A and B are shown apart, each in its own frame.
Chain A
Amino acid sequence: MTAIPLGVPRRLVEFTIDGQEARVPEGSTILDACRAAGKDVPTLCEGDTLTPKNACRVCVVEVEGSRTLVPACSRRAEAGMEVRTGTERARHSRKIVLELLASSVDLSTTPMVAEWIKEYDAKPDRFGPDAARLNEEPKIDNELYVRDYDKCILCYKCVDACGDQWQNTFAISVSGRGFDARIAVEHDAPLTDSACVYCGNCIEVCPTGALSFKSEFDRRAAGEWDESAQTRTTTVCAYCGVGCNLTLHVQDNDIVKVTSPHDNPVTHGNLCIKGRFGYQHVQNRG
């Protein structure tokens, strides 16, 4: 059962999306309203458990009177706003952003992107064979997870999840500047020398697969990762009394990774090292 937290009743804001009237509770974002109205607005850096960073800019929409396009994920709906989601201008920016991203990083494990690239007719190859790319080797320095920054789109979700929005460990941050900016621990050290507590909450929020379970990474490398053959079972973590929900991803009768339901009012998708990674004992069949 999903608990529905009840808050103070909020006023409704009335405005229009693509000419249709929309009413959403005060404080809702344009994206909330678009989703409620059944509009398909692509997003990458927006996360359901995090404050939007609006860094990726694929969700931009046109707002009447605004000089530039606005990010739907973080701009709050205001009374009287006229929002247009599918104009040529908005679609152009989304297309270019997809091209820029796909030309600079590996989006092969990013859900939905292939469809969007098709929908927006994006052609990432047109910047030429010499277009700068990240081209970095995966960082494998521990047994629990792999950092493959060749797939990183710098959405800041992992930084926020590790920092003041959830975990309060602050093990990772953005270093450098511009195209050279990277997610890194202090002095770009191995994860094992950092403040990381291996909660895996950064993996939970990563939208591209740049952060992944070592178990998933190894299976993918061996060509044995098959999501269609996996079952998902949500259960309760047995380690302590908090009662966190775990979703076990099982393939060929092996637990291959563990996630947590984001709508759980206690954990919001977060776990600790034991809940996230401590499942080997289940599989000791010796």
Chain B
Amino acid sequence: MDLHFGDSKPTDDERAAVDALFGPPESSWEGADRCDADLRWARGGREARNRRDLLLPGLHAINDRIGWISEGALGYLCRRLTVPPAEAYGVATFYAMFSVEPRPATVLQVCTDLACAAAGAAGLCAGIASRLGSDSGVSVERSPCLGLCERAPAVLAVRAGDPVRTALSAPADVETAVLAASAPGSAPEERPAAGAVPQAGDASLILLRRIGVVDPSSLDDYRAHGGYTALRRAFALGPSEVIREVTDSGLLGRGGAAFPTGRKWRATASQPDGPHYLVCNADESEPGTFKDRVLMEGDPYALVEAMTVAAYAVGAHKGYLYVRGEYPRALRRMRHAVDCARARGLLGDDVLGQGYAFDIEIRRGAGAYICGEETALFNSIEGYRGEPRSKPPFPVEKGLFGRPTVENNVETLVNVLPILTMGAPAYAAIGTPGSTGPKLFCVSGTVERPGVYELPFGATLGELLTLAGLRENLRAVLLGGAAGGFVRPDELDVPLTFEGTREAGTTLGSGVVMAFDDTVPMPRLLVRIAEFFRDESCGQCVPCRVGTVRQEEALHRIVERTGTDAADDIALLREVGRAMRDASICGLGQTAWNAVESAIDRLGAYE
């Protein structure tokens, strides 16, 4: 590799931001000034190249300190890691939270996605813009779902510096949004995670039982509330018995694909190639989803323990927790939890004194929905563009760094704890034979008490909405998020199980339930969904890259039209949608037409 770095230089601040992450460079081969010794031997090339996966943390370090990534800063980061600048530029421009153009130190992201749009995000944007004026030194950006749907509309302010400061305001009005942007350091304390759990404290809860009950910062409190009994049982059982328990429990993945978790673990554990990796997908970016955030903010040690159990079962000694970039509090809490667990011997070389080595590395996403796709997430961790890989080979065979990898999302992993503490039969008795266990639902939109609800599989949509306080004049319910589908108000008896929703011709997805009353303009909502997919497409394959654009164009054309006037464009949408579903590389393109199709067919949105 013959790298060319150009002659742009970093500022002292930019250099310091990078050096704070990697330490000072040792030789000119990785960015120091040239000295005589450097002429006689080459050190650092291969070593530095092996740290390619630190590219994303490096970009974060610069963006956090300066607010954007200059040519000089990118060049210096590339020298430190011997990454070709063109590739690093490709990575930096892939993520929404990075800028390669100068911008103000403070960025105010205003969520304009489904729940926030329904709660008046457009007016909020206009209000903020007129209040701040043009020379406020704040860059106001429209953001896809911030995962705060239970308290829409939401804004997130990020002020670059050392340290970087963030402030959330939700539900936001013009006053609080502007305050968050102008003084993120003194913004009022966010409301506790339990505020998003209307059932908090209910004795029947399993997954949410500790939220609002334990102090999320205290490991002792976690242990006092049953923490680490699952891991002890796992050590007593041994890896293959743990996998048997998980298999017998019937646990299906909760990220949306509903793949049997035990089977995935078994397939990875039996791979002769090593090392094995565990990846926890906490990049929940589906509009309307916020359960993983609430779990990480309210009960972070549970995730640390669950990851340890999973790693032990599949023979992994290293786990990556990939948290989406828009979740500053979840990131803080998880970092704290991982550090405390390590300090107390619950992570590290000798977990619980059992001679088993396991540690967790936390990685922060940077604003890309596609990185929730399992293989795109591997690329993102490895320091490449977050583009999905084509399968096969599957991750259990060749995943992170080309090694056998288990990837589960947060909710799936947290289910492993009750499986071990109550035993597989007791767990499998909850729910239905096809969908076992408790399930988390993220209810938002026009309901009285939006939030995360836990119900055993099998409750109906109507029961869930009654619990959340359904308002009158329900027009439609979006099930499964933007990649899911709409159901009508007369279909509320659909059972919330994987098989029940499938039979009803819809999907449970990741558990999103968004209610919309008749004040929400359906065609506008559909345009927003199309805009989301066009924005979040990685651009790798043609059906998705161009298809999502053509879908959005057609929906714009028919915003005000119905019946025969819309027929041509609806036919066009069907044809393009079918090709996207059939020929796209990954789930993003394959599902980008689901919600629109269901709105046309089930809701008669343009009749």
Contact = CB atoms under 8 A, between A and B. Distances in A.
Interface of A: 54-58, 60, 68-69, 71, 74-75, 89, 92-93, 96-97, 100-101, 103-104, 126-128, 130-132, 153-154, 156, 163, 168-181, 184-188, 193-195, 197
Shortest Cβ-Cβ A-B pairs, 9 listed: A170-B84, A195-B4, A181-B539, A96-B579, A173-B90, A100-B546, A186-B85, A93-B583, A178-B537
Contacts of A58: 542
Interface of B: 1-4, 6, 71, 74, 84-90, 93-94, 100, 368, 385, 390, 392, 534-543, 545-550, 553, 557, 572, 575-576, 578-579, 581-585, 590
Given A93-B579, A96-B547, A186-B85, A180 B100 contact: no
A103 B84 CA distance: 33
Given A96-B579, A101-B542, A176 B549 contact: no
Contacts of A89: 582
B93 A195 contact: no
Contact of A68 (B74, B93, B590): B590
Contact of B390 (A54, A69, A126, A171): A54
Contacts, number: 161
Nearest to B83: A170
Given A60-B582, A71-B390, A186-B74, A194 B546 contact: no
Given A154-B545, A187-B100, A171 B86 contact: yes
B582 A93 contact: yes
Contacts of A54: 390, 541, 585
13 contacts: A57-B542, A60-B583, A68-B582, A75-B392, A92-B575, A93-B543, A96-B575, A100-B576, A127-B553, A181-B545, A187-B71, A187-B100, A194-B86
B348 to A, nearest CB: 35
Contacts of B590: 68
A226 to B, nearest CB: 31
Contacts of A69: 582-583
Contacts of A56: 541-542
Given A92-B575, A156-B540, A179-B534, 20 more contacts: A55-B585, A92-B578, A93-B578, A93-B582, A97-B542, A100-B547, A101-B542, A130-B553, A154-B539, A170-B1, A170-B3, A173-B84, A178-B538, A178-B545, A179-B549, A181-B540, A185-B86, A186-B74, A195-B4, A195-B86
The winner among B86, B540, B541 for most chain A CB atoms within 10 A is B86
B542 A175 contact: no
A178 B90 contact: no
B535 A178 contact: yes
Contacts of A128: 553, 557
The winner among B71, B89, B385, B583 for most chain A CB atoms within 10 A is B583
A55 B541 contact: yes
A173 B87 contact: yes
Contact of B534 (A97, A178, A186, A195): A178
Given A60-B582, A173-B84, A180 B89 contact: no
Contacts of A193: 6
A106 to B, nearest CB: 14
Given A55-B540, A186-B6, A176 B550 contact: no
Contacts of A185: 86, 89
The winner among B392, B541, B557, B590 for most chain A CB atoms within 10 A is B541
Given A174-B90, A175-B93, A181-B545, A68 B540 contact: no
Contact of A174 (B1, B74, B385, B557): B385
A238 to B, nearest CB: 25
Contacts of B2: 168-169, 195, 197
Contacts of B579: 92-93, 96-97, 100
B471 to A, nearest CB: 36
Contacts of B392: 75
The winner among A54, A56, A163, A186 for most chain B CB atoms within 10 A is A186
Contacts of A169: 2
Nearest to A52: B390
B539 A131 contact: no
A104 B546 contact: yes
A52 to B, nearest CB: 9
Nearest to B550: A127
A71 B536 CA distance: 23
A186 B88 CA distance: 8
A96 B550 CA distance: 11
A169 B578 CA distance: 39
A168 B86 contact: no
Contacts of B549: 104, 132, 179
A46 to B, nearest CB: 13
The winner among A57, A71, A101, A178 for most chain B CB atoms within 10 A is A178
Contacts of A197: 2
B539 A174 contact: yes
A284 B2 CA distance: 33
Contacts of B540: 55, 154, 156, 181
Nearest to B535: A178
A193 B7 CA distance: 10
A229 B70 CA distance: 49
Contact of A187 (B89, B535, B537, B572): B89
